[in-house]
């Protein structure tokens, strides 16, 4: 592949990869897209670090115990959504 085409593909993949990392980690990408992600993170240290951070975060989240007692998970999730919406400001 020519150097120009390689650079173009790299830039396209660099924009695409972060938007699909969660799907990659959840094994929800097609085999072609999975190979695309793997090829890109092999070439891109920035995306490799982001993917590694996401893996660590998911590992930590999976290690948490579920809330006990009278915790209403749906109500708690709604509260978090509302608070996040407050920080986003006007669209």
Gap between the Cα atoms of 91 and 17, Å rounded: 25
Q: Which two tokens stand for residue 77?
A: 């999730």
Q: Comparing C-alpha atoms, which of 38, 17, 20 is closest to residue 29?
A: 20
What is the band of 66 on the pLDDT scale with cuts at 50, 70, 90?
Answer: confident
Residue-wise pLDDT tens digits, 17-31: 999 999 999 999 999
* Tokens 């090829």 -> residue: 39
Residue-wise pLDDT tens digits, 27-62: 999 999 999 999 999 999 999 999 999 999 988 888
């Amino acid at each position: 592949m020519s150097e120009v085409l390689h650079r173009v593909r790299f830039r396209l993949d660099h924009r695409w990869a972060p938007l699909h990392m969660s799907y990659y980690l959840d094994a929800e990408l097609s085999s072609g897209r999975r190979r695309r992600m793997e090829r890109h993170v092999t070439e891109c240290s920035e995306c490799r670090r982001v993917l590694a951070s996401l893996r660590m975060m998911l590992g930590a989240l999976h290690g948490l115990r579920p809330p006990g007692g009278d915790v209403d998970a749906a109500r708690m999730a709604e509260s978090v959504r509302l608070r996040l919406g407050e920080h986003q400001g006007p669209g």
